[in-house]
Structure 1
Amino acid sequence: MQDSPASELPSEGPIPDWWRHWWRRQTPTRQDRYAMLAPLAAVLLFLAAIVSAFWYLRLEEMDREQEAVKRDVEYAQQRMRLRLLERQEQLMRIARDISNKEVDAEEFIVRAESMIAQYPELLMLTWIDERRKITASYAAPSLHSNQIRASGEVLRPGETETMYSLARDLQQPVYSQPAAGPDSSGLLQLHVPLADQGKFGGVILGEYSIDGLLRYGVPAEISAKYAVALLDGKNRVLAGTSVPPRNPAGQLLPWASQPNDYEVPVSPVGNGLIVRAQAYRTGLGVIGSGLFWLVGALSAMTAWMLIANWRHTRRRMQAQQALMAETNFRRAMENSMLTGMRALDMHGRITYVNAAFCQMTQWSEAELVGRTPPFPYWPEEDRDLLMARLEDELKGRTIQGGFQVRVKRKDGTLFDARLYVSRLVDAKGNQTGWMTSMTDITEPTRIREQLQASHERFTTVLEALDASVSVAPLGSEELLFANKLYRLWFGGRAGGHLQMVATAGMSQPRPNDESLDHVDHFVGLPTNTLTSAGSENAEIFVPELGKWLEVRSRYLNWVDGRLAQMVIATDITARRTAEELAAAQAERAQSASRLITMGEMASSVAHELNQPLTAITNYCNGLVSRIKSKQISEDDVLAALDKTARQAQRAGQIIQRIRTFVKRSEPNRTLSDINVMVTEALELAEIELRRRNVRLSHYVAARLPHLMVDPILIEQVLVNLLRNAAEAIEQAGRPAGRRSVEMRVVPKQIDEQAVVEFSVLDSGQGLAPEVMERLYEAFFSTKAEGMGIGLNLCRTIVESHQGRMQAENIYNGSEVAGCRFSFWIPVSGATNPIVGKDAGVTIT
């Protein structure tokens, strides 16, 4: 087909001027395209008009069918509603007669038999009293024996229980649908309540056959025209039939014929019972119309012929367009490449350069194509080297991995580049030259130099560390890295690394049992990101070095992907020596504090010892005088000697307790009984409290756990706090009724940790704010003769047991009524509660 010139368009006729102007502005190719598309569009529009007309007629027909179905279903629903209301009214009359005592069980059975015989949809009538006991029941002969209820029985648990209770509560008839059993079809139950002198007297239970309700309630003319069914609230078919889809395979087609149906709830049952009617198919529809298929076939044939002619015309232009597109694509691809491309012929003359090569060298394509060596982008100082390389290329001696050169831009600046040379082969397989690709590697070279400098700095820092650093892979004796100090201590092998890991207990065990062949030997290692895993710390002693080392380990992924363990060891020998000296000093301070405490209590202890000694002297003098006068019997002598022995034993216990308290000993933490510690501390402190006329009360909670402590040190803290409380009361000058100290020992939860709290509460003047700030300061005391180390030492002892100590004033309104010192000790995880006596209060 030849292009139609625009001048051949008729100049006269009904075509508007704007259409002619638009047509003349189009190219001949576009005019041909529009000329081919116009008939095709006309045919498609004609086919669309025919389809729309058929579709509109079909919709009108479906609307008429839907209106007819809706009208007939509502009529059937009204018939069923009236039938149900009539049966309901009859049952309500029977219920009213029963409530008025006009009907007994025999009369009820007579009426039930008459109703069931007259109305086939009724299956059974049952009279149930207020105790759910069946008074009378009559069932249709068609019912199965398992469904018949006998008089005198009690309804089984769960049978109509909900609706029975609902009818009792509402005092109105209630419909329900019980689940159908294996031997019965669907039922509809009606519960009509009975009233006995204003009270609930039971129900009349009428049971309908849903299938019979459909058969006798729906008019015959409607059953003949439609597929009528009764559904429950979940759209399950209870009775009747349903029309299957007319075109299951074509449900997605817009013209697929669907069943024409309508459904409505059956009143007075409600949404629990729905009547649905589906119209039977009466026509062939649009798809069955011969005229539709004839018009469609002619339209399709016409469209196919137009399309075939149009495709034949377009094939003439496809080859030319494909060639132009391929050429443009290859040119765009060459211009978009970031790698510079250069082609040489067999004599070394440049035959081609791409845009990236020109952009790198700042020389244009015209300035480079046709040039022979030396090329303008060669630096003058590298020309001899580059000429030798070019001669090797032309002779076929190319380097497989490429080589690095310097390239000069047109403005004289230099940059680093890597060249890759390959043979240039034409379509016939003959070599026509050499193709060279050039990549700017200035930035990668700079980054590589920076990484090398960074590695050197990192190595220098690690070598200068005063800690040993070593890295070894798991499961191997290879040493991946070791700094200078490690090599100085352990040499260049992994033995020192493995020794530190094993001594610190950081090595990972591996299963040796042959039955665990498939167990991962890395079990137990951290599964999260290794670089964020927490480190392990330990302090070990290395005999070969004679040093204490603090060892920290961490898992990491080595550069080759292997799982490795890094160990950092720091020499802490000087720190350990200082800690041992500090511990010795603290021990001596504790012993000195106990001696000072006993020195301050010397007068009280002397007074306490004087009483048993005086009693011993009196008993001995009395015995001597009575023996001389021969006025004593053997029993009196034995009684006096027994009392003398008890007094001597008492004095010995006082001296032994004081010796144990002041005796210097090594710290010995054991699982200690709290009751024993408190009792011994109270016995020591009671001497001082009695001397100062202070009353002591204490409370120890029952079933306290054992504590992992040094009992002598805890007793020292308690004695010190009790003595301070007695001195504070004496300084305050409290009257006899208010001179009291209270000590409590109770379990607590502090920061989600189980602890035992010891508290001492006095009735003194409390602590001033300036004293509270300096309370635990060494050598600070509010007493003129005090040394100021008691409370500081007490807090040190408590904190050495991982506990805390605090003091607070007790207020009675605005007046300070005393001070409370308390400390707590965490409970050891291996302790068990003590099964002892009940807690109590002791007053001295």
Structure 2
Amino acid sequence: MTSTRTKPLPATAPRRALLQWWRAWWRNLTPLRQERLAMLAPLVAVFVFLAAIVAAFAYLQLEESEREQETLQRDMEYAQQRVRLRLLERQEQLMRLARQLALHELAPAEFENRAEEFVNQYPELQALTWIDAQGRIRASFAAPTLPGSQQRLAGERAGLDAAAWAQAQQQQTVFTQPLATAGQPPPLLQLLVPVARGRQFQGAVLGEFSNDSLLRYGMPPRVLARYAITLLDGKRQVLAGSPMTSSVSQVHFLPWKQAKASEYAIQVSPVGYGLVLRAQAYRTSLGVVGSGLFWLVGALSLMTTWLLVASWRHTRRRLRVQEALVAETNFRRAMENSIATGMRALDLEGRITYVNAAFCQMTGWSAEELVGLKAPFPYWPDEERHLLSEKLKEQFSGKNASGGYKMRVKRKNGTLFDARLYVSPLIDAHGQQTGWMTSMTDITEPTRIREQLAAAHERFTIVLEALDAAVSVAPLGSEELLFANKLYRQWFGAQADGHLQLVAQAGKLPVAYSSVGDMDEEDGLMGLPADALTEALPDHAEIFLPELGKWLEVRSRYLSWVDGRLAQMVIATDITQRREAEEQAARQAERAQSVSRLVTMGEMASSLAHELNQPLTAISNYCNGMLTRIDNGQLSEDMLRTALQKTAHQAQRAGQIIHHIRAFVKKSEPQRVLADVSKMVQEAIELAGIELRRHNVRLTHHVAARLPPVLADTILIEQALINLLKNAAEAIQQAQRPPAARTVELRVLPRRNEAGEVIEFTVQDSGKGLPPEMRERLFEAFYSTKQEGMGIGLNLCRSIVEAHQGRLQADNIYNGTEIVGCRFSFWLPVAKPAEIASNTVANGPSTRTVA
């Protein structure tokens, strides 16, 4: 039986396979990638070497920091033992002194002598105090250096911490540290040793230590020289020593890295208060000078890296230039083939050396057919060859128009099109001219559009010239006139004075905004300078020009002119005829009001005659009576005076009636003044009461007290009230109500509605109300249900009320489903403070209510 062994593969086989794979992979890479990888290997080696140096120095620095921390810990433990033993020695000495006091072996004077010995012998001990059981000082001695505010006097209260004093009363030795007070010297460390005999508490011995002296004399000088030592309390507040101001004191050998200073803290036991010693090392590293080797290695590594990078960048720059040249050539070729502008190159002899695809497509001739030809070229029209030859000679002589020139080009199929040619010299790399480059653009479509635009502009100009309004455009802040139509030139000439005059006069009037701009969802002035616009012109104003004798309606709009400037367009329309018609309508309305008042007086004529007949009859009777008594000799002086007084009273009564009637029917211009509502209502009642008594109608009225004034024409408001009261009496007469139900009620009260503070006038009758068909046409002009009515009473009432910014309305009064009367009401707005002030200045402080 034979056994066979597999022969192991030689160790070189995997290595050879790996090498072959590496070579195949390297050959498959592009030259650019091969260059990048070849450059990457030295850079990686340099950075690995630099990283190793940094790691080594960091390790050394870490070892050094750990050794320094261990040294700091050992030194602080030794210092802590020194301070603790020093405090324990002082504690034992004070305990012996307390036992002597408990045995009454020391008097206060002897205690002060012993205290002086202790204070002079131990510099950290600043004061010794003997305190009795009630907390009063029996004897005390302090060092001369102790401030007066911290010294204790015999007979005073000790002022100790309550918790520490309680522990002392329990015969416990305790350390305590008073709280620091702003503006006072630093507090002293206090040691309170109880004085007791048996279980009887007799007081305590208080020893006060200076924290600075304790730190200065208790710490070894070697530790103080190497570290910044501070003494802290239980709350980590500094009691003595000077901590390092900067939290960074360790200078690392790496310039970009700094470490925190080595620090160690340890408690000073067995002090019960919890004093802590903290130390901070002044220096924990060798610094920059001690790390010179690192800086040398780093500088050499950076120099090597810089050389490698500079070489690699130089190679890369050459490759980029080559790639850019190829890309630029391909780009220009693609651009020439894609644009619609034909390109043609001529040499100095006028021979075509190059044409692009667009030029061939435009003319219909191929590049092979055109290259090498000289003038005349086949794409020249036959009838224009002589002109184009002259143009070509001008080009060769250097007389080229900056805007090019226009020519007609013939295609290979014989059709013609318009083109514009631009010519520029061809300059080689040495600055020498080698020929001419011509670009040709087909302008057939732009020429057609330009002609259409010119025709549209002409039509637009004709429309503007035919308008019956003056249109002008001028830039803001300038006296230049950009546009003016025919009517503007007829009125103001060809200068901007008329435009500026319209802007100036319209800008002084109150703004009357039109509703045209409300249709836009966005602000039409968005993005424009607000200051110039708001001060320029209202949107809509009506002005009168004396030099033209016309009323003009002026409208404006801000627009961006074709050159980008902000301009203002003003449209002035002649509205003279409209204003004259409005004025005539106003005069007719005024005459209608006067006629209405005269008609009202005519209807009240019989009642007025009756009213005047009473005082006149009385006057006649008084006169006849006095004559009879004179004839009979029975008239005394007292009787004569009484009769004359009654006669004068009746004459005044008749005169007042005539005065009221004259004021009511007198034709005058409307005059709105501050009116007293109570007086105005009273005068209307006196005039209307005559008509109400004629119809046997009883009038009840209520006027609220202290009503504010209104800005109104008193005659017009009285006319409205009289019409409403007279209509109410006539409605009751037509309804044939019994005498008990023939009442009209007038109420005047203050109200508040959507218009603000108003005065409401209400006239309520007991008639049959308003039928539905009458309510629809109640305020219609010349509509009346009376046989002899003119139909202008209620229409005038509504016009008068609305002219005073008020509202008039009518409602039926119901009792269940039955109509038992009608209520007419209207309100007038209360005069505002500004209106009261302006009216007072204009008309004086008094208020005139009756003309």
Matches for 1:650-665 after TM superposition, within 5 Å: 650-665=653-668
Pick closer, same or farther for the CA change 1:370–1:732 going to 2, 3 Å. farther
Q: Do the aligned partners of 1:539 and 1:550 also contact (CA within 8 Å) in 2?
A: yes
- TM-superposed CA distance for 1:322, in Å, is 2.5
**One-letter identity of the residue aligned with 1:612:** P
User: Matches of 2:369 and 2:692 in 1, distance apart?
Assistant: 113
Q: Match for residue 697 of structure 1? A: 702
Q: CA 1:292–1:723 in 2, change beyond 3 Å: closer, same or farther?
A: same
Report the CA distance shift for 1:506/1:737 in structure 2 as closer, same or farther (over 3 A): closer
Change (3 A) 1:329 1:715: same
Determine helix, strand or coil for the equivalent of 1:433.
strand
Measured at CA, do residues 63 and 436 of structure 1 come closer, stay the same or move farther in structure 2, by a change above 3 Å? Answer: farther
Q: Which has the larger radius of gyration?
A: 2
1:822 pairs with 2:826? yes
Which string of whole-angstrom CA distances, capped at 9 and with x for unpartnered residues, describes residues 686-727 of structure 1? 33445411211123644526x2x4432222112223334455
Secondary structure of the 1:550 match is strand
Which position in structure 2 is the counterpart of 1:744? 748
CA contact (8 A) 2:559 2:567 kept: yes
| Matches for 1:706-717 after TM superposition, within 5 Å | 707=711, 709-717=712-720
Q: Which residue of 2 aligns with 1:47?
A: 50
Distance in 1 (alpha carbons) for counterparts of 2:550 and 2:45:
102
1:539 aligns with 543
Instruction: Pick the aligned partner of 1:612 from 611, 615, 621.
Output: 615
Distance 1:759 1:288, change over 3 A: farther
* Matched AA of 1:336: M
Q: Which among 761, 764, 781 is matched to residue 762 of structure 1?
A: 764
Write out per-residue CA displacement over residues 593-628 of structure 1, whole angstroms, 9 at most, x where no aligned residue: 112222333454344334434443443454455445
Match of 1:403 in 2: 405
Aligned equivalent of 1:341: 343
Note the alpha carbon deviations across 1:10-58, whole angstroms, 9 max, x for none: 9844737654432232256644553443243133234335535655786
- Write the mapping of 1:212-361 to structure 2, written as runs, cut at 5 A: 228=230, 240-244=242-246, 246=248, 255-259=257-261, 280-284=282-286, 288-289=290-291, 292-293=294-295, 296=298, 299-300=301-302, 303=305, 311=312, 319=318, 322-323=321-322, 325-333=324-332, 335-336=334-335, 338=339, 340-354=342-356, 357=359
Per-residue CA deviation, residues 769-809 of structure 1 (Å, 9 max, x unaligned), is: 55443331123345566443211111222334454434456
Q: Distance in 2 between matches of 1:474 and 1:674?
A: 51
Q: Does structure 1 conserve the Cα–Cα contact (< 8 Å) formed by 2:744 and 2:765?
A: yes
**Aligned-pair Cα RMSD in Å:** 5.8
In the aligned structure 2, how far is the partner of 1:358 from the partner of 1:692? 109
Letter in 1 for 2:702: S
Question: In 2 relative to 1, CA 810–407 (structure 1 residues): closer, same or farther, beyond 3 Å?
Answer: farther
**Partner deviation per Cα, 1:565-614 (whole Å, 9 max, x = no partner):** 65533332332332233223212221221122223334543443344344
2:575 maps to what in 1?
572
Q: TM-score, normalised by structure 1?
A: 0.65
Alpha-carbon distance, 1:743 to partner: 3.2
The residue type paired with residue 819 of structure 1 is: R
In 1, are the aligned partners of 2:558 and 2:568 still within 8 Å (CA)? yes
Q: Is 1:591–2:611 an aligned residue pair?
A: no
* Contact in 2 for aligned 1:623/1:637 (Cα 8 Å): yes
Structure 1, 777-786 or 571-580: larger mean CA deviation: 777-786
Q: Structure 1 residues 619 and 747 mapped into 2: Cα distance closer, same or farther (>3 Å)?
A: same
Residues of 2 paired with 1:252 and 1:41: CA distance? 21
After superposition, the Cα gap between the structure-2 partners of 1:480 and 1:815, relative to the gap in structure 1 and judged at 3 Å, is same
Instruction: Work out the CA distance in 1 between the residues paired with 2:664 and 2:751.
Output: 26
Closer/same/farther in 2, CA of residues 426 and 504 from structure 1, 3 Å limit: closer
> Which secondary structure does the structure 2 equivalent of 1:434 belong to?
strand
Q: Which residue in 2 is equivalent to 1:805?
A: 808
1:642 and 2:645 equivalent? yes
Check conservation: 2:262, 2:284, Cα contact below 8 A: no
Contact 2:250 2:260 in 1 (8 A): no
CA contact 1:806–1:823 (8 Å) conserved in 2? no
Alpha-carbon offset, residue 64 of structure 1: 11
What is the distance in 2 between the residues matched to 1:362 and 1:236?
Answer: 100
Unaligned runs of 5+ in 2: 1-11, 84-123, 129-141, 153-176, 189-207, 266-275, 510-528
Between the aligned partners of 2:181 and 2:364, the Cα distance in structure 1 is: 91
Alpha-carbon contact 1:47-1:299 (below 8 Å) kept: yes
2:438 alignment counterpart: 436
The CA deviation at 1:655 is 2.0
Change in CA separation of 1:36 and 1:659 when aligned onto 2, cut-off 3 Å: closer
| Structure 1 partner of 2:604 | 601
In structure 2, distance between residues paired with 1:342 and 1:43: 57
Structure 1 partner of 2:192: none
1:393 aligned onto 2:395: yes
SS in structure 1 opposite 2:425?
strand
In the other structure, the counterpart of 1:778 is 781
1:461 deviates by 0.8
Secondary structure of 1:775's counterpart equals coil
Contact 1:554–1:567 (CA under 8 A) maintained in structure 2: yes
Does the C-alpha gap of structure 1 residues 539 and 52 become closer, same or farther in structure 2, counting only changes over 3 Å? same
Unmatched segments (≥5 aa) in structure 1? 1-8, 80-117, 123-138, 149-174, 189-208, 264-273, 508-524, 839-844
What is the aligned partner in structure 1 of residue 797 from structure 2? 794
Distance 1:305 1:322, change over 3 A: closer
Secondary structure at 1:527 match in 2: helix
Q: Which amino acid aligns with 1:716?
A: Q
Q: Any residues of structure 2 matched to 1:483-498 within 5 Å, and which?
A: 483-489=485-491
Q: d(CA) in 2 for partners of 1:740 and 1:176?
A: 96
Counterparts of 1:655-694 in structure 2 under 5 Å? 655-669=658-672, 674=677, 676-690=679-693, 691-694=696-699
What SS does the aligned partner of 1:694 have? strand
CA distance in 2, matches of 1:744, 1:663: 26
TM superposition score normalised by structure 2: 0.64
Tell me the distance in 2 between the aligned counterparts of 1:733 and 1:609.
28
Cα distance in 1, alignment partners of residues 692 and 444 from structure 2: 89
> In terms of mean alpha carbon deviation, does 455-464 or 796-805 score higher?
796-805
Cα distance between partner residues in 2 of 1:381 and 1:837 = 98
Cα distance, 1:613–1:278 mapped onto 2, change above 3 Å: farther
Which of 414, 418, 421 pairs up with 1:419? 421
> Does the 8 A contact of 1:214 with 1:239 survive in 2?
no
Whichever residue aligns with residue 455 of structure 2, its letter is: A
For 1:822, give the aligned amino acid. Answer: F
Distance verdict in 2 for CA 1:769–1:504, change over 3 Å: same
Q: What corresponds to 1:464 in structure 2?
A: 466
- Secondary structure of 1:15's counterpart equals helix
Q: 1:571 to 1:532 in 2, by over 3 A?
A: closer
Report the alpha carbon displacement of residue 555 of structure 1 after superposing the two structures with TM: 6.8
**Cα deviation code 1:387-407 (max 9, x no counterpart):** 332243334443343212234
Does the 8 A contact of 1:261 with 1:279 survive in 2? Answer: yes
Number of the residue aligned with 2:200: none
Q: Is the 8 A contact 2:471 2:572 kept in 1?
A: yes
Give me the whole-angstrom Cα distance separating, in 2, the residues matched to 1:236 and 1:686. Answer: 102
Distance 1:15 1:348 in 2: 67
Residue 697 of structure 1 aligns to a residue in which SS? Answer: strand
- 1:552 Cα offset (Å): 4.3
